[in-house]
Amino acid sequence: AQSVTQLGSHVSVSEGALVLLRCNYSSSVPPYLFWYVQYPNQGLQLLLKYTSAATLVKGINGFEAEFKKSETSFHLTKPSAHMSDAAEYFCAVRGTTGGGNKLTFGTGTQLKVEL
């Protein structure tokens, strides 16, 4: 089975500071990994995805993530936080055994950006 763990259910940063949201995965096979963002009362929007090509993946809104197999991590970063980045962020891993392409999600990290 696939699983992801997001460390820290709430993260607070100052505007202009580095954003780091942590995600560790468990997978018995090479995974596909994803980061999504969710604004209140809306669906999830794909930020970026890792599909076994480059280990450093760039996404929308200035976010990027690095796949580190040795650490089983896929942390999300952004050099300079903006107020509009305040939202909930979900890491997800693709299951490859049964269930076709179903995704398993982490429990989410709420990002707060302060002035």
Partner 1 sequence: DGGITQSPKYLFRKEGQNVTLSCEQNLNHDAMYWYRQDPGQGLRLIYYSQIVNDFQKGDIAEGYSVSREKKESFPLTVTSAQKNPTAFYLCASTGAFAEAFFGQGTRLTVV
| Helix (H/G/I), strand (E/B), else coil: 23 | strand
Rounded alpha-carbon distances, angstroms, from residue 81 to 41, 89, 113: 22, 14, 7
Among 28, 29, 41, 84, binds partner 1 (CB under 8 A): 41
Give how many residues touch partner 1 by CB under 8 A: 24
Give the nearest distance from C-beta 83 to partner 1 in angstroms: 23
DSSP string, 72-89: TEEEEEESS--GGG-EEE
Q: How many angstroms separate the CA atoms of 97 and 100, rounded?
A: 7
Options 22-30, 57-65, 71-79, 91-99: segment touching partner 1 (CB under 8 A): 91-99
Phi, psi of 74 (to 5 degrees): -150, 65
Coil/strand/helix, residue 4: strand
Q: Is 102 in the site for partner 1 (CB under 8 A)?
A: yes
Report the site for partner 1 in 51-70 (rule: CB under 8 A): 51
**Of 21-29, 57-65, 75-83, 86-94: span binding partner 1 (CB under 8 A):** 86-94
Residues of the shown chain interacting with partner 1 in the complex, contacts defined by CB under 8 A: 9, 32, 34, 36, 41-46, 49, 51, 90, 92, 94, 99-103, 105-108
